[in-house]
Structures are given as structure tokens and as C-alpha cells.
Amino acid sequence: MLVKAKPQPLAPRWQKPRYSSWERQKDVTIAIGRFVSALWWDRVRKQNSSEQRSRRAQWLAQTLVNLGPAFIKVGQALSTRPDLLPGEYITALSRLQDAVPPFSTDLAIATIEAELGQSVQELFLEFEPEPIAAASLGQVHRAVLPGGDRVVVKVQRPGLEPLFDLDFKVLRRLIHWSELLFPWTQQYDLESIYQEFFRILYQEIDYVHEAHNADHFRQNFQEFQNVRVPKIHWPYTTSRVLVMEYLPGIKVDDCEALVSCGIDTKKLNQLGVCCYLKQLLQDGFFQADPHPGNLAVTQDGSLIFYDFGMFVEVKSLAKEQMLQTLFAVLKKDSESVLESLISMGLIEPVSDMRPVRKLLQFTLERFAERPVDVNAFTEMRREIATLFEQQPFRLPAQMTYILKSITTLDGIARRLDPEYNLIALAKPFVKQFAGIDPNRSLAEGPGANKTQKWLGLAKLALDTVQAQLSKPNPTVLAIQRLEQRIERGELELRVRSTETDRALKRLNLSIECLMYTCLAGCLLISGAVLVTGPLAHWAAFVFAGSGVAVVLLVRALVRLSVRKRLDRFME
């Protein structure tokens, strides 16, 4: 049974034929330039009203939709951060979670029939042409199978793989340019991060891979009555069509609906944190895209997982390192936390580690058991400014997704409970996981295999003890690191005045700006003179040189502006 669908919008520009990587580069650059220019113009005119922010936010959301799935995912991640963006932007970007404009229903039906080899009328007793949700990579239709099972049919958007190929080239080009213009970005290994991003993105458009992820995930949580994972209907699943059990629920960040159903949002936060800690620390297989469009809540407070395309496997060593970090955080042991962060590759040892230690100790003492207050960090402005200069932080490719997931979950949890604190909620799970509090369990319903749980806890406790016994003495490790740095010539003694040093840096940047201004002006005048003379064919090269000088001037001006802001922050 089919119902007439509403007219669908025109296809975006990236779905048109013969769309090249340079056209893609132009579209992305123009979009970013327009948005940054608009924000700058609003600041110049001192227009920061709610209405103006709402207009900018709506434009940004629509632009991200027009640019395609990769940029929609950026918007989805930003929509969970009310602590970073104004409310108008959160409202506008939230519709990217499950209300992205759908593609043509006729095209969706054609995809289903081409993939499954039968007409929709033969495949389903009922099929709703109007999608119930549309996201970055596909849209979802309700249907009923011949056996009477109520299901959802997830259909992939057309033209995704060619678009990802274009984005792959564009991003590689941007990374190359950023490393040329801003050499300090090379220390973040952006190449590895973007390779990992596209590896997982290409996996996301293979629905067979997603179906296997769903089965694996459901097996990991099969004993937990308060976690629901839809069943996959394999005979109806291909690389572009995925049919799974229909599990309706309340959107996880819809506080009003949750409260009206009598659901305790604090307990829901506890459940969500424990679910993801289990994925990270126990299973080593976690959902890397936990935005509100992929999570829902049943009437009885159970958590439903919907999307299984973006999953990452965590190595055993990384799980052990993260567990050690959590233990150190719970003990408020800043030195152990620092050692763990160094071992995970998140912090690179620098000549002066005192600012890092002070910042870690300050954070653990102030916010280990209470909500984080960004304004409180003004007390640490000197340490933060020093860290900004030293750039000791690193971002390994795999940790990118872990941090992204934690950040997204943190944003959702703050909406549900303004007093939320990740460390406080993680404490019961970490204790249970280490065998300290075996009576408390994520699986509160019947059916949990107690023997398996105790065996798992016993094995973990044994592994933890063995790891601690085999761990070298921290003093020995510190001496070894000191010896290595002396051998590499990384230690140096510097005596300087902080104020004088900052003033000299500003002066150097000002001179650099003046030099590029003179160079750009001279080349521009020279090009204009050449155009009117017999050597006009050389003018293009001179104008190109002037353009390069302007780019370098802009870079120097940005650095000077950042330096001035940093110095004002430290005063």
C-alpha cells in the first residue's frame, strides 16, 4: 500500500554530473568566506541581536546541507554544544540530526527495487513513501514485512561515493596548504586524522558493514535489559538498503517529553555514560557518532541505539591506558594522569611541563565532582597562555573519534542535567569494572549472566594487577626520559622577562606585516606598469607574486591579532 508523497526539493549542486574537485573547492571556500565575512561585518556594525544570530544560524545550517554529508556531520557535532555556541545556532543546527531535507521518494523506491530485485509492493505489505527521518547519508521509511513485522527501511542518498572522492581530494589540498602557511599544524599529524576519517566514512556507506556492526553491538549488550538494539532483517539488506526492526522512542535530548513520561534524566545520563564506558573499556567497540538523532529513549527509560555505521575498534593497549587514566582521575592524581596522557600520545613532553601539571591539578581539584565552569580557568591564564605557545597537545587518529564521541555525549548530558559531571557519573562504572563494587550493575533487569560477569571481572582484576606489577617505577621512567632528552639536545636553560618577550614577539610580527605590505604593494605597482609596456606578458606572474604576498600578509595579521589577544588575556 503506497501513499502519495509530498513534492521533493531539487537535488543539491554536488549531485549534478561533472562536478569537479576544483568546483567543490570553490564552493567550500566561498561558503566559509561568506560566513566568516558575515560574522566580521556583524561585529563591526555591533549587530549581535537574537534575531540577527538566528538568521546567521539558519543560513549556516542550510549551507552545511548544501555542502553535503561530511559538513552535515560537522553541524551535528556542533549542535550538541550549547556551552560553545549561542542558543540560536543550537536550534538551527539541531535539525541536521534527523530533519535534513529528504531526497526524492521515487529515487528511494527505485534504489530499493534495484537493490532487492522486486517491486516495493512485492517486498512489503505496507510502505510509507514519506520518510520519517532524513540524515546526512540516507533517509528512513516505515514499512511492514509480509510476515507482519514492523520495520524501517534505510535508503542511501545517491551520489555519496563520488562526493566523498571529491572531498578526499579537497581536504588533502587544504591540509597541504595549511601545513605550508601554518607550519605548526604539522605536529598534529592531520594527514593521519583525515585518512582515518575517510576510511570510516567510506565504511558508513556500506550498509552490509553497518548491519554486521549492529549484530556485533547487540551481542555485546544482549544481557542488558535497559539497552535496546534493533534486529537486522538480512534478506532485505544490501550495501545501499538496510531493513531493521522498528523501535519508536523519544529523542534523547527532548527534556520536556522525557520528564512528561516520568523518566529521570539524571538516571538516563548515568545509563548513557555507563553504556559508552562499557563500549570503550570493556568491548573495545564503540559508536563514534552518538548525536541525538542516533539515540532515543523508550517509555520505561531504556536507551535505544539506531545508527551503526560509524563504529571504531579500540586496541587492548588503548583500553588499558584509558582505564588507568580514569583511575588516576578518580584518585585526583595529576602526575599519573599526565603520565597516562603522554603514554596515549595526547601530550608531547616539552621543556617545561609545569603549566600542564598545574592545569591538570587545578581541573581535578575544582571539577572532578562538580560541573565545569569555564570562567574559573581565568585563574590559570598564564599557564593557558604558555600552553598555547608550547603546543604540547597531540591528537592521534583513533583518539580523534573517542574525543569527538565524549564531547558529543557531554553536550547531550548537559542538556538533560545542567549539574552533570562526567567523572562523578563514571565512578560507579569504573569501580564495578575493576571489581570494587560488584553489586552495582548496568544490567539491572533479569537475564544477566552473573557467572560470566564475575569471570570477566576476575580476569580484568588479574590483568590490572599484572599490569601494575610490571609497570616500571615512575622515578626510573622520569630519569630515562630526562636522559633521552639530554641526548637529543632538547634541554635548554632560558632566562627571560615575560613582558619583554611578549613585546618582542609583537614587534617581530608587526615588522613581518609591514614587510609583506611593502612587497605586495611594490609587486602590484610593478604589475600595473608592466601591463602598459612591452613586457605585458610578465604582468600575470608579477600579479601572482603580489597575491602570494597578500596571503602571507593575512597570515601575519592573524598571528599578530592572536598574539595581542593572548597578551591581553595574560594581563
**Is residue 453 scored above 80 in pLDDT?**
no
Inside any domain, residue 446:
yes
Pick the most confident of 70-79, 123-132, 278-287, 512-521.
Answer: 123-132
Q: Are both 524 and 421 inside the same structural domain?
A: no
Confidence of residue 436 (pLDDT cuts 50, 70, 90): very low
For residues 270-294, give the mean pLDDT.
86
Confidence of residue 40 (pLDDT cuts 50, 70, 90): confident
Instruction: Say what the pLDDT of residue 413 is.
Output: 87
Positions marked catalytic? 289
Inside any domain, residue 406:
no
Whole-angstrom distance, CA of residue 142 vs CA of residue 139: 10
Whether the CB-CB separation of 200 and 401 falls below 8 Å is answered with yes
| Phi, psi for residue 443 in degrees, rounded to 5 | -90, 90
Q: CA triplet 452, 456, 458: central angle to 5 degrees?
A: 115
Inside any domain, residue 259:
no
Inside any domain, residue 292:
no
Confidence of residue 119 (pLDDT cuts 50, 70, 90): very high
For residues 466-482, give the mean pLDDT.
58
Last residue of a domain, one of 128, 157, 186: 157
**Is residue 189 scored above 60 in pLDDT?**
yes
Other residues' Cβ atoms within 10 Å of the Cβ of residue 136 = 24
Q: Are both 471 and 330 inside the same structural domain?
A: yes
Inside any domain, residue 175:
no
Inside any domain, residue 389:
yes
Q: Are both 505 and 483 inside the same structural domain?
A: no
Whether the CB-CB separation of 347 and 392 falls below 8 Å is answered with yes
Look at residue 213 and give its three-state secondary structure.
Answer: helix
The string of DSSP letters for 478-545 reads: HHHHHHHHHHTT--------HHHHHHHHHHHHHHHHHHHHHHHHHHHHHHHHHHTSTTGGGHHHHHHH
Inside any domain, residue 535:
yes
Inside any domain, residue 79:
yes
Q: Are both 11 and 150 inside the same structural domain?
A: yes
- Say which residue, 19 or 8, is predicted with more confidence: 19
**Is residue 345 scored above 70 in pLDDT?**
yes
Q: Are both 530 and 474 inside the same structural domain?
A: no
Q: Are both 26 and 90 inside the same structural domain?
A: yes
Whether the CB-CB separation of 76 and 291 falls below 8 Å is answered with yes
Sequence-ordered list of residues with C-beta below 8 angstroms from that of 49, at least 6 positions apart, any chain: none
**Is residue 442 scored above 90 in pLDDT?**
no
Q: How many domains does the chain have?
A: 3
3-state SS record for 223-251: CCCCEECCCECHHHCCCCEEEEECCCCEE
Give the domain extent around 29. 1-157
Q: Are both 470 and 507 inside the same structural domain?
A: no
Q: Are both 481 and 346 inside the same structural domain?
A: yes
Confidence of residue 239 (pLDDT cuts 50, 70, 90): very high
Q: Are both 465 and 326 inside the same structural domain?
A: yes
pTM of the model: 0.70
**Is residue 277 scored above 90 in pLDDT?**
no
For residues 293-300, give the mean pLDDT.
90
Q: Are both 453 and 352 inside the same structural domain?
A: yes
Q: Are both 356 and 448 inside the same structural domain?
A: yes
Considering only CA atoms, which of 304, 300, 284, 301 is closest in space to residue 292? Answer: 304
* Helices then strands, each counted (H, E), the chain: 21, 11
Q: Are both 8 and 130 inside the same structural domain?
A: yes
Q: In angstroms, what is the C-alpha Rg of the chain?
A: 27
Last residue of a domain, one of 157, 174, 190: 157
Instruction: Say what the pLDDT of residue 485 is.
Output: 56
Last residue of a domain, one of 462, 487, 512: 487
